[in-house]
Chain A
Amino acid sequence: MAEVETNQKKKRPFYKENVPLLMQGNEACALGALAAGCRFFAGYPITPSTEIAEMLSRLLPMFGGRFIQMEDEIASIAAVIGASIAGAKAMTSTSGPGYSLMQENLGYAYMTEVPCVIINVMRGGPSTGLPTKVAQGDVMQSKWGTHGDYFPIVLMPSSVKECFYYTVKAFNLSEKYRMPVTLLSDEVLGHMREIVNLPPPDELEIVTVSKPFEPPEWYKHFEVTPDYLSPMASFGEGYRFHLTGLTHDEYGFPTAKRNEIITKLEKLRLKTARHLDELTDVLVEMMDDAHIMVVAYGSTARAARQAIRIARKKRFKVGLIQPRIMWPFPDKIVREYLENVDLVIVPELNQGQVIREVKRLRQRHIRIIGLNRFDGELITPQQIVEKIKEERH
């Protein structure tokens, strides 16, 4: 466990600020959640995400929050959504099989526009797969997992420090856009230890969903505003609204009227589509003069970052694009850089998922090739360099 302050007399902080701490990605996620104001966690034990639950079960009561271990992942996400509706910032953490179980209720949260955070520490799949080994097989699931038409926000950190900051960011985005936000970590990231310096929680920017100011009888829980972000009342605040997974009108009552159906479903799309600038977070490295582009994310991006440095020494003009907000996909930036390169390499710990997105954006003939590893081990920088050499030979 990371160094956690347990001195009861001291009110804050709950971690030592601005000093080097050695901690795991999972622990950083748990601390990030607390710093972001998370006060409810419901979960079910699953490798390799359990450390997040263990840590929060200890820390949440210290901050007046509540932890509960539910009977399965379906109940966990249901309780998280329920707590969020009742006004608590809420989250859960899980891994592949649990994430699959959560999909139906995640759809409910997208439909009813309830903020919450889901951390999926990816492991090998499908099914039980490789519980203790790393993979990046859930990237497409995080986009298309539940049924129907919806537009998720998914974040992918690549270091322990990013695990902390992106958990905070996940809460901020979920509160602002009133929707579930998934953070895709993976087994290596979750269990890897790194030195991090964490800032005091009050130096972080924390977003909380805006509250309505109109009287209850005028209140529309799903009001369509010019920027498609609507304020949200919680249960117990006197607004007495109705929430349903059925397609509903602006008040939340079920509807089958064509114009109201369209308004609702378009709102789900426009919420993110109208804010793509804010929802683009890409790390671009050495792309200015690059002819070769590596698109990598999550723990694979770490290898890619080193690989481009090695390749540069060998006189290959190569750069890196690392989407840290994976969905919505950074179409604009990737399309821009595709203009100037003639080879793209997409290393992934799966048999080719994000490569489809890059190919979708291809305007002219460029070679786009995948470097895929799915044996439960990480892609090494050497493998990427070898791939570049092989292609350039």
Chain B
Amino acid sequence: MAEQVSNVTHKYLRPKKTFPNVWCPGCGIGIAMGALIRAIDTLELDRNEVSIVSGIGCSARIPVYLDFNTLHTTHGRAIAFATGVKLGNPRLHVIVISGDGDLLAIGGNHFIHTARRNIDITCILINNYIYGMTGGQYSPTTPFAKNASTAPFGMVEQSFDPSDLAISSGATYVARGTVYHASQLSRLISQAIQHKGFSFVEVIANCHTQYGRLNREGSAVKMIQWQKECAVPVSTAAKMSPEELEGKFVIGKLHEVFRPEYVSEYQKTIDRFSREEKSDQQLQES
């Protein structure tokens, strides 16, 4: 089984790229990357037609290792770049990988507007509750009263629930997984890629180096165990009261609706007004 999994993974890693990677030993980002690769493999996507876009941060380093059309952009703007890539070549499957600081702080505006637009992009948020790369500063998801290197006396701000934010901004597919539930995570990611419209997957990951150390939460193993203990599947959560859900989080597919998708709606405008004769290929496609 392990051999099978790594065979799949190795198929999609870049031969020219030297390892080891930039992440700390035990980091959850590698597991999330594996889940993404398996999702793409299950869907049998042509790798020439997959584009992976990221911003800045630990999680944003994923694309460099992957053998797709990869784009490592500026801080917070990944999703805006991805919008351009999708509109520049609508055939591409565009996947954005981002962290909590990247997507929700500096990129918050792009996030809500891209969700509202319902453009066919898949956005994967690796949520580790902290800015890892710059040394453990608090992010928009750092829980109240937790420590960070810029909140040495405890966080006094309230935090975002990224999935709630995505739903209320208009994302048409929203799911949450953890790096502990790795095979469920790759299922969720493949559903998200298949979904036509803006899809969002929040991945709860561990940062034992920064968040864990500052909050005395122990090793990588202990933090991943915490994910196992606190994760409640959607079906179970439906039967639980809000009090029982206190301190826990729900995993699985949280939301799916179907609304007109931006690229295909715009295509209708082009088809209606276009003065250029259609090529044979386009005629076949339509």
Q: With the chains together, A244 CA to B91 CA distance in Å?
A: 22
Q: With the chains together, A11 CA to B275 CA distance in Å?
A: 5
B74 to chain A, nearest CB (A): 5
Specify the chain B residue showing the minimal Cβ separation from A10: B275
Within 8 A of B (CB), among A24-81: 40, 42, 61-66, 68, 70-72, 74-76, 78-81
Q: A62-B273, A74-B77 are in contact. Are A240 and B71 (CB under 8 A)?
A: no
What B residues does A244 contact at CB under 8 A? 64, 72
Within 8 A of A (CB), among B18-53: 47-49, 51, 53
Q: Is the CB of B85 within 8 A of A83?
A: yes
Q: Which of B71, B87, B270 contacts A40 (CB 8 A)?
A: B87
What B residues does A80 contact at CB under 8 A? 84
Judged by a CB distance under 8 angstroms, whether A104 is at the interface is yes
Q: Which of A12, A234, A253 contacts B275 (CB 8 A)?
A: A12
What B residues does A105 contact at CB under 8 A? 73-74, 77
Q: A64-B270, A243-B70, A246-B72 are in contact. Are A70 and B48 (CB under 8 A)?
A: no
Total residue contacts A-B, CB cutoff 8 A: 157
Q: With the chains together, A239 CA to B86 CA distance in Å?
A: 17
Q: With the chains together, A90 CA to B88 CA distance in Å?
A: 9
> A-facing mask of B124-142, CB < 8 A → 1, else 0?
0000000000000000000
Specify the chain B residue showing the minimal Cβ separation from A12: B275
B11 to chain A, nearest CB (A): 13
Q: Is the CB of B48 within 8 A of A236?
A: yes
Specify the chain A residue showing the minimal Cβ separation from B271: A61
Specify the chain A residue showing the minimal Cβ separation from B47: A240
Q: Which of A40, A239, A251 contacts B88 (CB 8 A)?
A: A40
Q: With the chains together, A191 CA to B91 CA distance in Å?
A: 38
Judged by a CB distance under 8 angstroms, whether A241 is at the interface is yes
Q: Which of A72, A81, A253 contacts B109 (CB 8 A)?
A: A72
Judged by a CB distance under 8 angstroms, whether A108 is at the interface is yes
- What's the tally of chain B residues with a CB closer than 8 Å to chain A? 43
Q: Which of B67, B70, B84 contacts A90 (CB 8 A)?
A: B84
Q: Which of A82, A236, A251 contacts B84 (CB 8 A)?
A: A82
What A residues does B7 contact at CB under 8 A? none
Q: With the chains together, A235 CA to B90 CA distance in Å?
A: 11
What A residues does B277 contact at CB under 8 A? 11
Specify the chain A residue showing the minimal Cβ separation from B272: A61
Most B-side CB within 10 Å, residue of A236, A238, A239? A236
Q: A72-B109, A87-B89, A234-B89 are in contact. Are A254 and B64 (CB under 8 A)?
A: yes
Most B-side CB within 10 Å, residue of A78, A80, A234? A78
What A residues does B83 contact at CB under 8 A? 42, 68, 70, 75, 78-79, 82
Q: A62-B274, A72-B109 are in contact. Are A108 and B73 (CB under 8 A)?
A: yes
Judged by a CB distance under 8 angstroms, whether A88 is at the interface is yes
Q: With the chains together, A234 CA to B91 CA distance in Å?
A: 13
Q: With the chains together, A241 CA to B17 CA distance in Å?
A: 11
Q: With the chains together, A42 CA to B270 CA distance in Å?
A: 16
Q: Is the CB of B84 within 8 A of A86?
A: yes
Judged by a CB distance under 8 angstroms, whether B16 is at the interface is yes
Interface bin, chain A = 35 or more
A50 to chain B, nearest CB (A): 19
Specify the chain A residue showing the minimal Cβ separation from B60: A244
Judged by a CB distance under 8 angstroms, whether B266 is at the interface is yes
What B residues does A239 contact at CB under 8 A? 69
Q: Is the CB of A242 within 8 A of B70?
A: yes
What B residues does A251 contact at CB under 8 A? 16
Judged by a CB distance under 8 angstroms, whether A172 is at the interface is no
Q: With the chains together, A249 CA to B90 CA distance in Å?
A: 29
Judged by a CB distance under 8 angstroms, whether B160 is at the interface is no
Judged by a CB distance under 8 angstroms, whether B284 is at the interface is no
Q: With the chains together, A11 CA to B273 CA distance in Å?
A: 11
Q: A82-B85, A83-B88 are in contact. Are A237 and B48 (CB under 8 A)?
A: yes
Q: Is the CB of A240 within 8 A of B68?
A: yes
A70 to chain B, nearest CB (A): 7
Q: A62-B275, A88-B89 are in contact. Are A79 and B80 (CB under 8 A)?
A: yes
Judged by a CB distance under 8 angstroms, whether B253 is at the interface is no
Within 8 A of A (CB), among B251-278: 266, 269-270, 272-277
Q: Is the CB of A235 within 8 A of B72?
A: no
B272 to chain A, nearest CB (A): 8
What B residues does A64 contact at CB under 8 A? 270, 274, 276
Most A-side CB within 10 Å, residue of B51, B82, B113, B273? B273
Q: Is the CB of B84 within 8 A of A235?
A: no
Q: With the chains together, A8 CA to B271 CA distance in Å?
A: 11
Within 8 A of B (CB), among A221-239: 234-239
Q: A82-B83, A253-B17 are in contact. Are A75 and B77 (CB under 8 A)?
A: yes
Q: A10-B275, A68-B83 are in contact. Are A243 and B71 (CB under 8 A)?
A: yes
Q: A236-B91, A253-B16 are in contact. Are A75 and B270 (CB under 8 A)?
A: no
B33 to chain A, nearest CB (A): 15
Judged by a CB distance under 8 angstroms, whether B92 is at the interface is yes
A16 to chain B, nearest CB (A): 15
Q: With the chains together, A78 CA to B76 CA distance in Å?
A: 11
B32 to chain A, nearest CB (A): 19
Judged by a CB distance under 8 angstroms, whether A245 is at the interface is yes
Q: Is the CB of B84 within 8 A of A245?
A: no
Judged by a CB distance under 8 angstroms, whether B249 is at the interface is no
Q: Which of B69, B73, B109, B266 contacts A236 (CB 8 A)?
A: B69
Specify the chain A residue showing the minimal Cβ separation from B48: A238
* Interface, chain A (partner B; CB < 8 A): 8, 10-12, 14, 40, 42, 61-66, 68, 70-72, 74-76, 78-88, 90, 104-105, 108, 234-246, 251, 253-254
A sample of 24 inter-chain contacts (CB < 8 A) reads: A8-B273, A14-B275, A40-B84, A42-B83, A61-B269, A62-B274, A65-B270, A74-B77, A75-B83, A75-B113, A79-B80, A82-B71, A82-B81, A83-B84, A83-B88, A84-B88, A86-B51, A87-B89, A236-B69, A240-B69, A241-B69, A242-B63, A244-B72, A245-B74
In the complex, the 3 A-B pairs of residues with the closest C-beta atoms, listed nearest first: A82-B84, A86-B88, A83-B88
Additional A-B contacts beyond A14-B275, A78-B80 (9; CB < 8 A): A8-B273, A8-B275, A66-B87, A71-B110, A75-B113, A86-B85, A235-B69, A236-B89, A245-B73
